[in-house]
Every structure is written in structure tokens, then in C-alpha cells.
Structure 1
Amino acid sequence: MRSGPPPLAAALEHLEAVLPLAQYPLPLEEAPGMRRLAAGIGNQVRDHLLPRALRLDAPLLVVVGGSTGSGKSTLVNSLLRARLTKPGVLRPTTTSPVLVAHPDDLAWFDSGKVLPNLVRSSTPVHDSRALHVVAHDALPPGLALLDAPDIDSIDDANRRLSRQLLAAADLWVFVTSAARYADAVGWELLEQAAARDTVVSVVLNRCPPEATDDLRSHLSGMLSQRGLPAARLFAVAERELGEDGMLPLADVAPIRSWLAGLAAESDARTDVALQTLAGAVRGLDEQLRVLADGVRRQGEAVEELGRQAANQFRLAADEVGLATSDGTMLRGEVLSRWQDFVGTGEFMRGVEEQISRWRDRLTGWFTGRQEAEGVRGAINDGLAALVVEHGQAACESAVNQWTMTSWGRQIVEANEGLARTTADFDADATRAVREWQADVLRLVEEQGRGKRTKARFLALGTNAVGAALIIVVFATTGGLTTAEVGIAGGTSLLAQRLLEGVFGEDAVRRLAQRAKSDLDARVQALFATQLTRFLHITEQLEVDTSVADRLDAVADELRSAGSDAFDDLTRPEGF
């Protein structure tokens, strides 16, 4: 018994394991075709390539395919001289495949090693996923005939199954008619067979007797032009069927004789099996490269979606960071509350004098709880509103970026509310700003515990020093109008000098940097919660780009194993 070499079978098993990992979930224009190609290769490996590589001497699977009404079922019955498959007048005609094998070969086809995903049935069924297996001793052992559904069936499942069965065949018997032999669908499949070097025979059925020679000559020329010059061509005249519904024996005798000779010659069967197997394996190389490139493009597209969303939230965080350092926050309510709090004009005149001379008065200004709460409240409201505004803008901008592509639009349409921040974002922003202010107070308390600064710090109070530090954080005057520069600039200078009088210039710089870094981190964390919604969508797409490299590796393995295998199998015996 001859069998396919283990390296080739092993490579096909590796391919079978890797193929399901090749996912194309993002609706790129090419994605449906990639999914069909991956599914088709998977079926071909399971249905034909792997079992054939493991057993080169197994019976041949001869698939009888063709267009609607071409007479496939009638031809099969006529070849076997028995009504084993039922021709139909309704469309689609053959609704489930019928496989006819010699009893000695039945175990091979009934075992599920070939076409494993089709349910076996011993009786006729009307189900495109069931295979009606018939034992018939008029068919010689060594090959089986499979009557397939129409290649142009109006039923999608039948049409897909017809292609799957043809891809599983060792040999095609392609049936067409005098009226339809130029149809595009049939030639599309025949050209695919030619590209894979599949062994093909063509039956030109229902030929007007007076035009048979001309039709045969024309079709023969077309086969040569389309890459199938070696295809065996049979012509069957158009006649009235007998009472048994079959063609006259004489009309199908050449086909019967050819099949019988093929079945009787093990070397001839091996040649057929080997040619189709080798051609299919060679054809996989380009197909797998296409799938690998498709996975990479999926990964690139998913990464681009993630980058687009991340960029919008990064820009939003940068804008908040700028607004909290360029003086923008020293406007409106915050500025008004701070001026009320410190009595800016009078304090500015006295800040150059020693703080000790103003201790009693300063204590009165800066320990006033109501005024301090007013400043903190204004800061909280203004800063929280700034964060919410930019968070919402980032969501809208990210969605706008995604909708610039058709696949991005589909994702947005499938995720309602993506352009809005979550319901809890406003509250989270308010809480984050409140917690930041509390941390600023703790920061100045820690800094004010030193012996040199303690008296001055106590004279002013935690609320005053904390508020002053926040003003310094907001202090830079870039972005303010001329009038605002004068007002806010003086206010920030007051806060700066106040803190320097308590802690010293270097310490103030460090405190401001720490407070600003903490604020930036909190804003970034808030925006990250919104960005996560976008990234979660891209993660759910589950595109593993490493699969592309694995597909390339399997293609290389198949090329090497196939080259060794087919060279060995075609080498003359004894060498």
C-alpha cells in the first residue's frame, strides 16, 4: 500500500490548526473574500488534501458537477444503469449530494475521513449538509461518483456546497450543455481547476446530432485557451430518454469505458490522485500568502483605529494640561473668589514687608473657612467643567475619525453612545478635582512641618497656602488677554511671593511641579476610562497579527514538504 509521506501530512495538519486563527472581523472591503478563502482552504484540507496525503492509494472521488439542468443526475444514472440519484424538474434540482461507491470502497467514504463535515445518510434526503451514500456493485472498485448540487443554484447553501465538493475531488466530470457551455460561472470554476492542475474531464451534453462535431471542436478550443488542453472531452447527443429515464447505453459507453479503465489501473488512479494533490498543494502557497497579508492589514487597521482614538484623548489631555498652566483658569469665578479671599490690592502693597508684621491680619484672611471654601468651590467647578468639556470633545473627535472609513462607520453604528462620555464621567471628574485639591493641601502641610517654615505656615493656614499653590500652578499668563494679564498676573505674583516667603523659591518650584504632575495624571486617568471603551472594541475584534507569520511559516513548510513528497512519489520504482 502506498501512502502520502508523513512530512506533507504533518504540514497539512499544521495548516488545519492555524487556519481557524486567521480572523478577519474588521469589515474591510476585502474581508468577506478572505473569510471565504480561509473557509474554502479549511474545507479542502479536511475534505481532500489531508486524507489523500495520508492514503494516496485510497479510492478516487470523482465529482460530477455542472450548471442547473445540465443533466448531471441523468448522466450518473445512465452510467450506472440504475436510478440511484433523482433528477428533478424544480430548481434547484440536486438538493443534496449523492455518492455512489462499490461495496468494497464504502467503508472509506462512509468513515468520515473524506468530507468529514457532511452527515452520512443511507436514504435520500433533502438537506445540503447531508451526504447520501449508496453502495452499487455495477461501479468498479477504485473510484466513487458523487452527484453534486448545481454550481449556479439559486440556493446559496447548495452553491457553496457544489464548490466545496469540487475542491474535494480527485477528478472532475464537468457536465455542461450545448446551450450553456459558454456560461461564465462554469468557466470561472474550470479556470480555477486549471490553475490548481486538477484533473478534469468535460461532458458536453444535449448536443444536436447535426452540430455535435462543431460544438465539440469549439469547446475543445476554448478548453485549450483556458489552460485545460489535456481535459478529456465527451459529447452526448440530445435524445429522448427511455422509459427508465436514462440515456441510451451507446451514448454513454465511451465515458463508462474510460471510468472502468481508470478504476482498473492502480497506476492511472495514482497519477490522477497525485496530479490533483500536487496542484492543490502548490496552489496553497499563493493563497496562504494572501491570507497572511489580509491578517496583517486587519491588524494594521485595528491598530490605526486604536491610535486614532488614543490621539484624540491625548490631545484632550494636552489641552487640559495647557489650560491649567497658561493662565486660562485664572479667569471668571476662580479669579474673583481668589481676589475676595486675599484682598489682592492691599495684600500686594504689604507683601514686600515681613510676613511676621502681617501675621494677625493674614491669619484672619487665610483661615476664613467660608472664603476658602468659595475659592476651592470655584476651582472645583471650573476645572471639572474644563475636564468634562474636553472629555466629551475627545469622544466626538474619536468617533469622527472612525467614521472616515466604511468599516469604522459600521463599528460606530454598532456601538450606540460611543460619541458621548459615560453617565458617570461628570461625577468622576468632580471627584477627581476635589481629591486633587485635598492632595494639594496635604502636600503643603507636609512641606510646612519644617522648623524654619512652621511659624510662617501656621500664620497663613493650610487653606491659604494650598489655594496659593493652586494659583501658582495656574499662573503662567500665556493665552490671557492684555487686561487679564494685568489682573491675573498680579494675582499669580502675589501667590508666588507668598509661597516663597513661607517655603523658599526652590521649594515652591518643586511643590508646583508636583501638584501639576498630579493634576495631569488624574486628568489622563479620567480620559483613559473613556478611551478604554474604544480600545475594548478594537480588542474584541481579536486580530492576532502573529497568525500572519504562522501562515507564512506553514506555506514554507508545505512548499518544502510538497517538493520532497512529489519528487519522491514520481520517481521511478527502484531509484
Structure 2
Amino acid sequence: MSGAQNLAAAFRQLDDALTTAQFPLPLYGADRLRTLTVTLGQQLRDHLMPRADRLDAPLLAVVGGSTGAGKSTLVNSLLRAQVTRPGVLRPTTKSPVLVCHPDDEEWFRSDNVLPGLVRTDTQLHDSRALHIVTFPDLPPGLAVLDAPDIDSVDDANRTLARQLLLAADLWLFVTSAARYADAVPWDYLATAAERNTVVSVVINRCPPGAVDEVAGHLAQMLAERGLAAAKLFAIVERALPDDGLLPLGDVAGIRQWLVALASQTEARSQVAVQTLAGTVRSLDGELQELADGMRRQQEALSELHDDAARAHREAADAVDRATGDGTLLRGEILARWQDLVGTGEFMRSVEQRISALRDRISGWFTGDQRIEAVEVAISDGLAAVLRDAGERAAEGTAAAWSHTRWGRDILAAEPGLAVPSPGFEQAAEDAIRAWQSDVLRLVEEQGRGKRMRARFLALGTNAVGAALMIYAFSLTGGLIGAEVGIAAGASVLAQRLLEAVFGEDAVRRLAQQARAELSARVDGVLAAELSRFTDVLGALAVDDEAPARIEASRVALRSAARDAFDDLTKPVGMD
């Protein structure tokens, strides 16, 4: 492929990559990056891709400037005809007007240039409609576009004005003697200087006695800001005749400059390549800025994800501690267990109790409603622990997220995240009941052996299961003070009862397995709660490959630029 074809291909690659550029979090500079992404995409489709595809296509000269600078009057005066309607009311909402030679009409009516604007044959009160006027007296090879005000109070007008100027091969920038030092025009002219855009500045409505002074000051300002090569034209302030056109002599210099550009193929090509090359040069830093901005988005989202995961992991750890250090072996659970095994003898020698148990093991627990009371107490106690952990996980995540503006924005949009989900309480209770069923299944499977079958059947699945739960709750130890004797006694009694049925080795294995099953159930419930946060973050997620795609497009564009431009016009700093 030729250099220009490689450049066009690089532009298309970049256009595809820009579709993945997202900045969902309100990080510093995110608004600018969102605007930059849209602007770059429009510029690629409006100007860069069509110009790279056809360097010999007609030039587009956009007439831009401030409100009341006289842009439409200047366009009409250059053409010596009323082709565009000057605005009277503010804000002026009207469709931009593109004037071209009939030979160039097909190019500008196609989607090659400004594809996002609807073509119309009438000037409308619609800034997204492009009014196309064919004008035989305008030389072929050059179109003039009357753009909206760059400082319009209407957002759509301002946005379109910028889009049109960035789609131009050259600017005819109009200001006035009263406003040429305003900040907004110079923001635009700084962009033109940065991109080496071909610019002509028209200072309109100069006081008759101050033309040289005003023009001289403006020329100095242009030179100081990197626009010394810009053409400068000054027009004296005067009352307009009935036809509303400036005298021909006032615009003769501008007409001659435009006609010379249109009539000379080499001059047109030089303008097109200069603006194209300058724009490509400016893209390098902007694309790096986009890639860096997306990485910051990914890092911020990852931090939010880590905060949520940490809070829910800590909640799971809290449940694990509470169900393994004996904390549960007090209160209602302990009371119901004592009722079951006999409170009067509870603090006596454990060995004596187990011996007595072996003598009368048959029917001891069979059909005892106190077993159900133990199971209910365990279920209620565990569910309360899990509910408390879920509440702390939600509150902890919300507290961590509230440390950043973007985290606060998410919480404001999703206030329900700061508390457990509506179904969490029921899910916690269901998980605990399911775990109790898991424990009963474990003891049933272990009790199928012939040697232990008699003991197991005598006690019953539920009684043995309750004992296993009690023992599992003290597996890691941790109680201190007066609770040690009570809880330890309850745990040891459960352990001895289980050992009498299954044997010592099997009991510890069963307890560890029961705790593992409980952890899995708890993790499942908390994972569902965590998913509320990760789902929100997932909807905001930045494509993992997006920064790399932008970087690859940047490298491809630099390479294509080296091939496409000669040494004179090759972008500085792109080697």
C-alpha cells in the first residue's frame, strides 16, 4: 500500500480502538477524556479518514468565530450573494451552511465528510442539519462553511462549532476589534497552532483610525502564540448598504487568497497535507493521555472491587471465628444443650457420664423433643452471626467506597448497597438449615458401619448431629475466663459422646468436615451479597484490552505517518 493508504488504514484502526475507550468513574480529568474521545472519533470520520483516502479532494474552509463577529456577512460578501442568513437573535440556532462549486457537490453530499450531519437544501433551525448550497462563481476545489458561534450560549452550537473547525482543512477565523483578545477565541487558535492548521484571521469592525494599531497588536499576539504564519486581514467598521454586503474592496484580499488556493493544485495539496500532518502529530500525546486515563479507571475500579472483597472476606472470617472458638457455646445454645444432656450432672466428671451413657445408651435421646430445641437454638444463633456479618460487610464496603468521590457517586446511585439485600436474611437462614442437613448427612454416612450401627441407632441421627455441631463450635478454642469451664465441658461431653459412637479419629475428621461445609455455606451467602457490588462495578468496567488497543493504534499511526509525509511536513517528534 502507499503511504497515504497506510495512513488511512491506521486511522481506521484508531477509530475502532476508540469505541473501547471508556471513563465511567468521575476521576480527575475524566470529563475531558470523555470529550476528547468523542472529539477524536468525530475528527477521524469527519476529516482525517476521508482526507487520507483522497488527498486531492476539495478543501473545506470553515468560517468560525465569536458571536456577532460577522461570519455570515463575511461569507456573503466574499461570494457577493446572500447565501447564508446572518443571525439576529441570540443564541442563533441555525443549520451551518456549506457553499461549494457544483463540480464538488457530490463529494460534500456524500458521507465522506461530516457523516453525522443530515444534508438539506434549506437553512433550518437545526444545528445538526448541513445546508448545502452550490455556487458556480466559487472556484472548484474549495468549499466555504459558515459555522455556529464558538461562544454560543447554546451547548449544541458550541459543540458543533468545534467539530466543524476540527474537520476543516483551513480556518477563516473571524473576530472583531472589540473582542479579539477574548479568551475563547484564543483557546481555539491555540489548538490551531498546536496542530499547525492553516489559518487566516479576519479582524472585523476596526475603528477607521485604529486599523493599523489593532491589526499590529493582533499580529504580535498571533506571533507570540505560534501563529506567525497566519494570514491576517483587517476590515474597517462601516454601515452596510441595503444588500447587507461589505464593499468588495474590504474583502478583496481574502477573496484573492481563497481563489489562489482553489485554483492551484499544488497549493491545495500543501494545505491539506500541512493540516493533516499537524493533526497526526497532536494525536500522539492525546492518545497517550487516553490510554493512561483508562488505566487509572481500571486501577480505581480494581480498588473498589478489592474494598468490597476485603469487607466480605473479613465477614466470612468473623463467622469462622465465632463458630470455632466456642463463642456460640453460651446463651440459648448452651442452655438447650444442657437441657438435653442433663443439667444436674453436667459439671460432673465427663468420664463418669460417658460410662453411664454406655450403660443406658439405648433410647436415651430417642424421640426427645429437646433435640429439636438444640437444633433450633443452633439455627437461630448461627443465622444471627451470619446476618451480623452480612450487615458489617455491606457497611464496611460502603464506608470504604465513601472515601472517594466516585465511590460516593456509586453509593448515591445505588443506596441499597449500604445494607444487605432484601433477601439476605432469608438466604442466611436457609444456608444454616442446609448446613444442619449437611451435618446430618455426614453422621448418617459415618453411622452405616456395622460395628457402630447399634450405638448410632440408639442415639439417633439428630442427637449425634447436634453433638457434632456442638463439638465443631469449639474446635479452634479461644474462650477465656469463666466461660472456659462451661463451654469446654459442653464441648468435651459432645466429643466423648461422638467418640463412643464413631471412635476418636473419625470424630475430629467429622468435625473438620462439618466446619468446612459450614464455611462453604457461609461463603455462598456472602458471595451472593458481594455480587451486588461486583455487578455494579462490572457494568462500569473498562475493557481490559482497551489501553493496549489505543497504544497499538498510536504506534501504527506513528509508523504510517513516517511513510505518508515527506521530511518537510513530517510531524515533529513522531520519529
Please give the root-mean-square deviation of Cα atoms over the aligned residues, in Å: 1.9
Could you tell me how far 1:427 is from its partner in structure 2?
1.8
Pairwise mapping of residues 1-80 of structure 1 onto structure 2 (< 5 A)? 5-80=4-79
For residue 21 of structure 1, give the secondary structure of its aligned residue in structure 2: coil
What residue is the counterpart of 1:377 in the other structure?
Answer: 376
Deviations 1:314-344 (A, max 9, x none): 1101000000001110010000111111115
User: 1:332 and 2:331 equivalent?
Assistant: yes
Deviations 1:174-198 (A, max 9, x none): 0011100000000011001111111
Could you tell me how far 1:552 is from its partner in structure 2?
0.4
Bigger mean CA deviation after superposition, 146-155 or 365-374? 365-374
Q: 1:285 to 1:99 in 2, by over 3 A?
A: same
Query: Is residue 94–residue 148 contact of structure 1 (8 Å, CA) maintained in 2?
Result: no
Q: 1:175 to 1:81 in 2, by over 3 A?
A: same
What residue is the counterpart of 2:260 in the other structure?
Answer: 261
State the distance in 2 between where 1:259 and 1:358 align.
111
State the distance in 1 between where 2:476 and 2:569 align.
85
Could you tell me how far 1:441 is from its partner in structure 2?
1.5
Q: Which runs of 5+ in 1 are unaligned?
A: none
Bigger mean CA deviation after superposition, 454-463 or 301-310? 454-463
Bigger mean CA deviation after superposition, 320-329 or 500-509? 500-509
State the distance in 2 between where 1:158 and 1:281 align.
26
What residue is the counterpart of 2:540 in the other structure?
Answer: 541
What residue is the counterpart of 1:232 in the other structure?
Answer: 231
Could you tell me how far 1:545 is from its partner in structure 2?
2.6
Could you tell me how far 1:224 is from its partner in structure 2?
0.8
User: 1:563 and 2:557 equivalent?
Assistant: no
State the distance in 2 between where 1:19 and 1:89 align.
39
State the distance in 2 between where 1:202 and 1:427 align.
72
Q: Which residue identity lines up with residue 104 of structure 1 in the other structure?
A: D
State the distance in 2 between where 1:504 and 1:384 align.
30
Pairwise mapping of residues 217-296 of structure 1 onto structure 2 (< 5 A)? 217-296=216-295
Query: Is residue 477–residue 485 contact of structure 1 (8 Å, CA) maintained in 2?
Result: no
Q: Which residue identity lines up with residue 500 of structure 1 in the other structure?
A: E
Query: Is residue 93–residue 127 contact of structure 2 (8 Å, CA) maintained in 1?
Result: no
Q: 1:327 to 1:354 in 2, by over 3 A?
A: closer
User: 1:121 and 2:158 equivalent?
Assistant: no
Query: Is residue 295–residue 545 contact of structure 1 (8 Å, CA) maintained in 2?
Result: no
Could you tell me how far 1:355 is from its partner in structure 2?
5.6
Provide TM-score, normalisation by structure 2: 0.96
What residue is the counterpart of 2:573 in the other structure?
Answer: none
User: 1:108 and 2:82 equivalent?
Assistant: no
Bigger mean CA deviation after superposition, 90-99 or 374-383? 90-99
Query: Is residue 337–residue 378 contact of structure 1 (8 Å, CA) maintained in 2?
Result: yes
Query: Is residue 395–residue 421 contact of structure 1 (8 Å, CA) maintained in 2?
Result: yes
State the distance in 2 between where 1:35 and 1:355 align.
74
Q: Which residue identity lines up with residue 62 of structure 1 in the other structure?
A: A
Q: 1:198 to 1:140 in 2, by over 3 A?
A: same
What residue is the counterpart of 1:391 in the other structure?
Answer: 390
Number of corresponding residues: 570
Deviations 1:517-540 (A, max 9, x none): 000110010111111111111111
Q: Which residue identity lines up with residue 155 of structure 2 in the other structure?
A: D
State the distance in 2 between where 1:158 and 1:4 align.
36
Query: Is residue 475–residue 511 contact of structure 2 (8 Å, CA) maintained in 1?
Result: no
Q: Which runs of 5+ in 2 are unaligned?
A: 571-575
State the distance in 2 between where 1:4 and 1:154 align.
43
User: 1:431 and 2:430 equivalent?
Assistant: yes
Bigger mean CA deviation after superposition, 442-451 or 76-85? 442-451
Deviations 1:480-512 (A, max 9, x none): 341111111111111122222322222111101
Deviations 1:462-496 (A, max 9, x none): 22221111111111575534111111111111112
What residue is the counterpart of 1:517 in the other structure?
Answer: 516
Pairwise mapping of residues 60-209 of structure 1 onto structure 2 (< 5 A)? 60-93=59-92, 95-209=94-208
Could you tell me how far 1:406 is from its partner in structure 2?
1.4
Bigger mean CA deviation after superposition, 71-80 or 533-542? 533-542
State the distance in 2 between where 1:357 and 1:470 align.
22
State the distance in 2 between where 1:508 and 1:343 align.
22
Query: Is residue 65–residue 166 contact of structure 1 (8 Å, CA) maintained in 2?
Result: yes
For residue 122 of structure 2, give the secondary structure of its aligned residue in structure 1: coil
Q: Which residue identity lines up with residue 107 of structure 1 in the other structure?
A: E
Could you tell me how far 1:418 is from its partner in structure 2?
1.7
State the distance in 2 between where 1:286 and 1:202 align.
27
Could you tell me how far 1:559 is from its partner in structure 2?
0.5
State the distance in 1 between where 2:356 and 2:153 align.
98
Could you tell me how far 1:450 is from its partner in structure 2?
2.0
Could you tell me how far 1:400 is from its partner in structure 2?
1.7
State the distance in 2 between where 1:259 and 1:545 align.
48
Could you tell me how far 1:421 is from its partner in structure 2?
1.7
State the distance in 2 between where 1:317 and 1:64 align.
65
State the distance in 2 between where 1:345 and 1:489 align.
17
What residue is the counterpart of 2:448 in the other structure?
Answer: 449
Query: Is residue 277–residue 569 contact of structure 2 (8 Å, CA) maintained in 1?
Result: no
Provide TM-score, normalisation by structure 1: 0.96
Could you tell me how far 1:265 is from its partner in structure 2?
0.7
User: 1:315 and 2:314 equivalent?
Assistant: yes
Query: Is residue 333–residue 377 contact of structure 2 (8 Å, CA) maintained in 1?
Result: yes
State the distance in 2 between where 1:359 and 1:501 align.
8
Bigger mean CA deviation after superposition, 82-91 or 455-464? 455-464
Q: Which residue identity lines up with residue 491 of structure 1 in the other structure?
A: A
Deviations 1:199-222 (A, max 9, x none): 111011111121111111111110
Q: 1:134 to 1:569 in 2, by over 3 A?
A: farther
Could you tell me how far 1:279 is from its partner in structure 2?
0.7
Query: Is residue 399–residue 419 contact of structure 1 (8 Å, CA) maintained in 2?
Result: yes
Query: Is residue 208–residue 237 contact of structure 1 (8 Å, CA) maintained in 2?
Result: yes
Query: Is residue 99–residue 146 contact of structure 1 (8 Å, CA) maintained in 2?
Result: yes
Q: Which residue identity lines up with residue 525 of structure 2 in the other structure?
A: L
State the distance in 2 between where 1:65 and 1:341 align.
91
What residue is the counterpart of 1:459 in the other structure?
Answer: 458
For residue 84 of structure 2, give the secondary structure of its aligned residue in structure 1: coil
Deviations 1:151-195 (A, max 9, x none): 000110000000000000000010011100000000011001111
Identity of aligned residues (%): 63
State the distance in 2 between where 1:510 and 1:133 align.
85
Question: Moved runs in structure 1, 4+ residues, more than 6 A?
Answer: 568-571
Query: Is residue 121–residue 133 contact of structure 2 (8 Å, CA) maintained in 1?
Result: yes
State the distance in 1 between where 2:25 and 2:264 align.
50
Bigger mean CA deviation after superposition, 421-430 or 472-481? 472-481
What residue is the counterpart of 2:414 in the other structure?
Answer: 415
Query: Is residue 316–residue 390 contact of structure 1 (8 Å, CA) maintained in 2?
Result: yes
For residue 365 of structure 1, give the secondary structure of its aligned residue in structure 2: coil
What residue is the counterpart of 1:341 in the other structure?
Answer: 340
Query: Is residue 3–residue 563 contact of structure 2 (8 Å, CA) maintained in 1?
Result: no
Bigger mean CA deviation after superposition, 472-481 or 372-381? 472-481
State the distance in 2 between where 1:333 and 1:368 align.
21
Q: Which residue identity lines up with residue 472 of structure 1 in the other structure?
A: Y
Deviations 1:36-72 (A, max 9, x none): 0000000100000000000000110000000000011
Could you tell me how far 1:312 is from its partner in structure 2?
0.8
Q: Which residue identity lines up with residue 271 of structure 2 in the other structure?
A: V
Query: Is residue 69–residue 93 contact of structure 1 (8 Å, CA) maintained in 2?
Result: no
